[in-house]
Structure 1
Amino acid sequence: MANKASKSLARQNSATLNRTHLTTLCIHLIFILYRLLFRRGSIIKYILLSLPSLLIEFYLERLGRPVYRGTEMIKPGEDLAAKGLTEYLWDIVYSTWIVLGLVAVVGEWAWWAGLVVPAYAAYLAWGLYKGFMGGQMPGMPQMGGAEGQEQQGEKSKRQAKMEGRGDRGGKVRYR
C-alpha cells in the first residue's frame, strides 16, 4: 500500500474534475439551447462572462489532474479541496453556473448577479489595502493606544511570581 494518500488524492481529484467538466458542459449546452429556442440575448455577454470560469476550470484541470506514465503515477496533483485561493476559484465556477441558470430563466438583467464575486473580491482587497496602509496587519487584533500600552506593561501574577523566584523566562540552565 505504498503512496496510499497520493493514490486517494489522485482518485478524488479525477472524480471531482470529471464531475465538474460534465456539469459545466451540461449547463452551457442547456443554456445555449434554451437561449436559441426561447429567448434571444447577447452572445458577447455570454462569452465575456463565461470565459473567466472556463479559464479557471482549465487551470484547475492543470493543477489537480494526476499525471501517469503508463500505469505508474508520476504526480497525484494538488488538493482541489484546499482552503484559500483554490476555494475562491471554485466559488467563481459555481457562481457562473448560478448566473447562467438565472439568465436563462429570468432574462438578460441577471447578468448583473455575476458581479457579486468580483465585488466581494474588491471588498476584501480594499480591506487588505487599508490594513497595510494603517500599519495594522489584517487579521491581527488591534491594540488601542493607551489600552495596548497598559496591557503590555502589566504582568500576570504568574510572571511576577516567577521573576520573584529568580526564574528568568523558564530558560534551561546547563552545568
Structure 2
Amino acid sequence: MAGKASKKQAQANVQALKQLHTVLGGVLSLVLLRLVFSSKKRWFWMVILHLPAAACTYMLEKNGRPRFDSSGHVVREGMDLAQKGLTEWMFDIVYLTLLADSGVVVFNTMKFWYVMLLVPVYIGYKLKGIAGPMLGGNNNARAPSESSTAPAAETKSKRQAKREKNGDKVRYKYK
C-alpha cells in the first residue's frame, strides 16, 4: 500500500509522455515527408519555429519522466503532468505547434504558424489576471467618497443580520 500515490502518478506520467511522443512522432514524420523537396529557407523557418515546442517537450520529458530501480519500484515519480499552470501551458504550446504542422502537411502553407502569435497574447492575458490586482488594477474597489455614503447595513449578509438579531436569545437551558 505504501507509495500507491507515487506509483499512480508515475504511471499517469508515463502514459501522458507516451501519448505526447506518439502524436509528435506521427505529425513530425509527415512534416519531414512534406519538406523533403522544400527550399532551404523553409527548412530554416521550420527549425526556428519548432524551438519553443522542442524546449517544452524537453522540459516535460526531463521533469515528468519517472525513474524506476532495477526491481521496478518507483525511485522518483516526476512532477505531475496533469497539473494546471505552467505544465498545462507547455502542453498547449506543443499542441499549437502540431496544429501549425498539420496546416503545413495538409495545405502546404506556412500561414498556420500565425496561430503561434496567440501564445504571447494568452500569456499577457494570464499575467494581467495575476499581476493586475497587485499593481492597483482592481476595478471592484469603490472610491473613498462612495464608500462613506453607503450604509453599513448593505454590507452585511442576510446570515450576519439574522445572527445579530438572534444573538441575545437564550436557546438552551442547562440544569
TM class by shorter chain equals 0.7 to 0.9
Q: Which amino acid aligns with 1:144?
A: R
User: In the alignment, what sits opposite 1:83?
Assistant: 84
Q: 1:143 corresponds to which letter in structure 2?
A: A
* RMSD, aligned α-carbons: 2.7
The amino acid across from 1:157 in the alignment is A
Name the structure 1 match of 2:75. 74
- Structure 1's consecutive aligned runs of 4 or more residues displaced over 6 angstroms after TM superposition are none
Q: Distance in 1 between matches of 2:162 and 2:24?
A: 60
CA distance, structure 2, for counterparts of residue 148 and residue 58 of structure 1: 56
Point out where structure 2 has 5 or more consecutive residues left out of the alignment. 170-175
- Of residues 103, 118, 143, the one that matches 2:141 is 143
Query: How far 1:15 sits from its partner (Å)?
Result: 1.6
Q: 1:105–1:161: structure 2 CA closer, same or farther, 3 Å change rule?
A: same
Shift of 1:162: 5.5
Conserved 8 A contact 2:17-2:61: yes
- The secondary structure found in structure 1 opposite 2:74 is strand
Unpaired segments of 5 or more residues in structure 1?
167-175
Equivalenced residues, count: 160
Matches within 5 A, 1:1-175: 1-37=1-37, 40=39, 42-71=42-71, 72-106=73-107, 107-134=109-136, 136=138, 142-145=140-143, 146=146, 150=150, 153-154=152-153, 155=156, 156-161=160-165, 165=168
Distance in 1 (CA, whole Å) between partners of 2:83 and 2:132 is 27
